[in-house]
Chain A
Amino acid sequence: MSPSDPAAAETVDVGRPAPARASPGRSGPARSSRNRPSAGRHTLALFRSELHLVFGRARTWVLLAVLAAVPVMIGVAIRLSGSEGDAEGFIGQVAGNGFFLIVASLAVSLPFFLPTAVTVISGESLAGESSLGTFRNLLTAPAGRSRLLAAKMVSLAVFCLVATMVIWLSGLIAGFLLFPVGDVLLLSGTTVPLGDGLVRALGIAVLIGLSMLGLAGIGLFVSSLTSTPLAAMAATFGSFIVCGILSAIPQIDVIHPWLLMYGWPSFADLLRDPPYWDAIWRNLLLQAGYLAVFYAAAWARITSRDING
């Protein structure tokens, strides 16, 4: 392991315009491992530059805009059709209480929109660097690889949470504008004040955001295998689809509890009185399991990767 030459660190700046300001942080620890005291600050700078990279892209904002449009579209559709809640479930309650637009939108986004967004962002994360030619430069600083991966993962997690928060906020605004809003009827038949309901909806948004972490981990690993972002996205989404198909086959229900999306509907347990935590914890554990396995695999791939490859 030879220390990287400063020239390589310089090229990082050229290839990555957005995080240019933070680049000294990226190359700093690699240049001298004795430079400990400022390592924390450098790490922070690296994480910040990654966030800049993710949220500096136009496609991220387009994805977020699409997600923000989900509650608006559902709300307008229900408002125009003017149905008095014949539909079952959360959608049927929207007309009576705008609060349920938040929950319904989150529930509608969960099986498809959110996984798509997460797939796009995670597929891009490492493969994008490779395709831009910046990855080689990043990899010439071996000490920074683990940290780089951590920064990628953290920015992915932040994106997952921001995405669900956007739906929550958009649902809140659209729900308040389009429908009457009042006390919230829980699944158990009890009614809680609106504030309590909004906190529960916020919890649902966080839970659904965390539910995406397993998929984000898969995406990160796949992204470390290839230098073509599109291939990484396709492969990640492909594995997501395969998981979905497997979970629809009743003959193999033995493996269903191990599938990525098995625990996703557990978010609704927050709307019981009292909330039923069992399934929620199991889902979070499963996501943590997926994340641990695929993050470790991505780490092994990144740190053992041939620099010229």
Chain B
Amino acid sequence: MGVAQRSRRWLVPVTAVAVVAGVGTLGPVVADASPNLPGITAQELLTKVQTAKVDGLSGTVRSAADLGLPALPGVEGGSQIPDLLTGEHTARVAFAAPDKARVAVLDNMAERVWTTDGKTAWAYDSAEREAVKLTLPARAHRPAGPELKPESYNPATVAKQFLDAIDPTTQVEVSGTDKVAGRDAYMLRLVPKTDKSTVGSVTLAIDSKNWVPLEVTVMPRTGKDPAAQLGFSSVSFGIPATSTFTFTPPKGVKVTEKSVPAVRQAPTPVKPPKAVTPKRPAQNAGDKPTVIGEGWESVVAFRDLDVPRSGPVGQLLANARTVEGSWGKGKILTSKMVNALITDDGRVLVGLVSPDTLVAAAPKAPR
């Protein structure tokens, strides 16, 4: 056997590397060639979406978020940011009209389940082996499903929220077609008209048969990777069995019972992070955050927050850029999507806007 002939054998493992890498990276792309669908205007598509009615669905939802938030190692109590806003998650969802819903978040070797059959709602955490039972008030047409915690997993709800926000500030277009969860979908793209927002675009993938949003993608103004993506990886529009939504507390699981009062209060809009506690006792209306600006340029302003000047947050602040103006002085914390201005007199302005917009909004923030 000659040397050349021998060394040619090494082509086999090299080919194997190429094939494995090729299948791994290109496989999904080839499988998802964009389908040919009849043309549609953004207006028609929006109408179809808003009138879309689905009696039931079940499927798997994937979410991935990369907001570019600074990592705070050693912050007490884990993440202050709701964990669904960071990293990747997979959830199984099921929905049946009018008020049955189930969401199971598949964690690493654990699972968190929320389910409701319209009369009772259950929350179960397999890691803690604890269950919470909620008795819901008897009401005829209460849309229980989407109002519970599961709402952040339901692409339909999330998309609707975006659609509600559409106003003259946004350019809306049908940007093409794609395959999402094996279904043909139109892509509806929303682009902020302002350049003050950190949001580059929001794209909805809308099913071409049921007109249900299948995927939401948020692109930052700079960069090519999505800041957040939430969508079905598989979906079926059959009505799930009733047993899907029932929950029997297993043996050895601690059950806490609660009931929801018939008159429910409006949910608090934005809560300040837990570690950042108000300095003086809360006044009746004074401590509600103020919203400055409109649409994509909205900035949320808090006041009288006791921002820790030591520890990891303090370190982060120490390294942050200092800005000043007639309103005073403060530090700017920047990330891919969210920016924050923390003034020396305890005001905090947060928004999906550029740092300059925050500074411009600072004089309007109540002291």
Q: Is the CB of A300 within 8 A of B10?
A: yes
With A188-B111, A278-B60, A300-B9 as known contacts, state yes or no: A293 contacts B126, CB within 8 Å: no
Q: Is the CB of B124 within 8 A of A189?
A: yes
Choose one: A89, A107, A304; the contact of B9 (CB below 8 Å). Answer: A304
Choose one: A190, A278, A279, A304; the contact of B250 (CB below 8 Å). Answer: A190
- Residue A99, interface by CB 8 Å: no
Q: Which 8 A-B pairs have the closest CB atoms?
A: A304-B6, A297-B13, A296-B13, A289-B20, A268-B109, A187-B111, A300-B9, A296-B16
- Residue B252, interface by CB 8 Å: yes
Q: Is the CB of B106 within 8 A of A269?
A: yes
- Residue A265, interface by CB 8 Å: yes
- Residue B247, interface by CB 8 Å: yes
Choose one: B6, B24, B127, B250; the contact of A191 (CB below 8 Å). Answer: B250
Q: Is the CB of A258 within 8 A of B17?
A: no
Chain A 253-293 interface mask (CB, 8 Å, partner B; 1/0)? 00000100000010011001000101100000000010011
Q: Is the CB of A304 within 8 A of B109?
A: no
In residues 44-99 of chain B, which contact A (Cβ within 8 Å)? 60, 71, 90, 92
With A93-B129, A188-B111, A292-B16 as known contacts, state yes or no: A299 contacts B9, CB within 8 Å: yes
Chain A residues within 8 Å of B253, by CB: 185, 189
In the complex, the chain A residue whose C-beta lies closest to that of B125 is A189
Between-chain CB contacts (< 8 Å), 18 pairs: A85-B252, A89-B127, A185-B250, A185-B251, A188-B111, A189-B249, A268-B109, A268-B110, A276-B60, A276-B106, A293-B13, A293-B17, A293-B20, A297-B16, A299-B13, A300-B13, A303-B9, A304-B1
- Residue B242, interface by CB 8 Å: no
In residues 1-60 of chain B, which contact A (Cβ within 8 Å)? 1, 6-7, 9-13, 15-17, 19-20, 23-24, 60
- Residue A15, interface by CB 8 Å: no
Chain A residues within 8 Å of B90, by CB: 276, 278-279
Q: How far is the CA of A272 from the CA of B7 in the complex (A)?
A: 48
Q: How far is the CA of A92 from the CA of B13 in the complex (A)?
A: 45
Chain B residues within 8 Å of A297, by CB: 10, 13, 16
- Residue B265, interface by CB 8 Å: no
Q: Is the CB of A187 within 8 A of B126?
A: yes
Name the distance in Å between A262's Cβ and chain B's nearest Cβ. 12
- Residue B349, interface by CB 8 Å: no
Q: Is the CB of B110 within 8 A of A89?
A: yes
Q: Is the CB of A89 within 8 A of B109?
A: yes
In residues 112-148 of chain B, which contact A (Cβ within 8 Å)? 113, 124, 126-129, 131
A265-B109, A272-B104 provided; 17 other pairs, C-beta below 8 A? A1-B1, A85-B129, A96-B252, A183-B251, A185-B252, A188-B111, A272-B106, A289-B23, A296-B16, A297-B10, A297-B13, A299-B12, A300-B9, A300-B13, A303-B6, A303-B9, A304-B1
- Residue A142, interface by CB 8 Å: yes
Q: How far is the CA of A89 from the CA of B110 in the complex (A)?
A: 7
Name the distance in Å between A207's Cβ and chain B's nearest Cβ. 13
Chain B residues within 8 Å of A272, by CB: 104, 106, 111
Query: Residues on A close to B: CB < 8 A?
Result: 1, 85, 88-90, 92-93, 96-97, 107, 142, 182-183, 185, 187-191, 250, 258, 265, 268-269, 272, 276, 278-279, 289, 292-294, 296-297, 299-300, 303-304
Q: How far is the CA of A296 from the CA of B19 in the complex (A)?
A: 12
Q: Is the CB of B131 within 8 A of A189?
A: yes
Q: Is the CB of A289 within 8 A of B24?
A: yes
Q: Is the CB of A189 within 8 A of B247?
A: yes
Name the distance in Å between A189's Cβ and chain B's nearest Cβ. 4
Q: Is the CB of A258 within 8 A of B111?
A: no
Chain A residues within 8 Å of B11, by CB: 300
Q: Is the CB of A189 within 8 A of B109?
A: no
- Residue B108, interface by CB 8 Å: yes
Name the distance in Å between A13's Cβ and chain B's nearest Cβ. 26
Choose one: B108, B128, B249; the contact of A268 (CB below 8 Å). Answer: B108
Q: How far is the CA of A164 from the CA of B9 in the complex (A)?
A: 34
Chain A residues within 8 Å of B247, by CB: 189
Q: Is the CB of A188 within 8 A of B126?
A: yes
Q: How far is the CA of A262 from the CA of B338 in the complex (A)?
A: 30
